[in-house]
Amino acid sequence: MFDTMTFTKIVGGVCGALLIFLLGKWAAESLYHTGGGHGGEEHAAGFAIQVEEGEPVEEEEVDFATLMASADAGKGERVWGKCRACHKLDGNDAVGPHLNGVVGRQVDAVEGFGYSGALEEAADVWTPENLFHFLENPRSFAPGTAMGFAGLPKPEDRVNLIAYLQTTEG
């Protein structure tokens, strides 16, 4: 079945394929070589975009009372959609404690819910201002909190959510 001529053809085919592969690799390196590492000149892999240097923009300090006065509970209900995955407003706990009546409530007041302990160190009562700062970045407000939410960066979203939470019953 296998004679020497068949074996020679198989070995020749493998060697020919290897030769074509190596020549293709050499040709591709010659065409697309960027010059780094082989004694050639070092080049950056990208290019710099020149921009004009301007004066640093200072963040406008937001007055909390002014923001709360313009808060819209209807818009806050839409923001509530981000909280709905872990919290409920019907008095039942989920992954997180229920949030109906949270504004003005003691931080660890939900019976039977296992708090992490980090919140008690950060605040005593969920005042609108404490909620405002907590919702911005929970982990920086209460380091060690078990809440995995990244936060709401827009101040308007935070005050709208607080206004919506104030409409829920305790």
d(CA 136, CA 94): 22
pLDDT above 90 (res 18): yes
pTM: 0.63
What domains does the chain contain, in order, with CATH numbers? Answer: 76-166 (1.10.760.10)
Mean pLDDT, the chain, whole residue set: 84
User: Both tokens of residue 53?
Assistant: 């240097």
Supply the pLDDT for residue 116: 77
pLDDT tens, 58-90? Answer: 656 668 888 888 899 999 999 999 998 889 888
Cα 163–Cα 165–Cα 169 angle in degrees, nearest 5? 125
Q: What is the 3-state secondary structure (H, E, C) of 50-118?
A: CCCCCCCCCCCCCCHHHHHHCCCHHHHHHHHHHCCCCCCCCCCCCCCCCCCCCCCCECCCCCCCCCCCH
Supply the pLDDT for residue 12: 96
pLDDT above 70 (res 50): yes
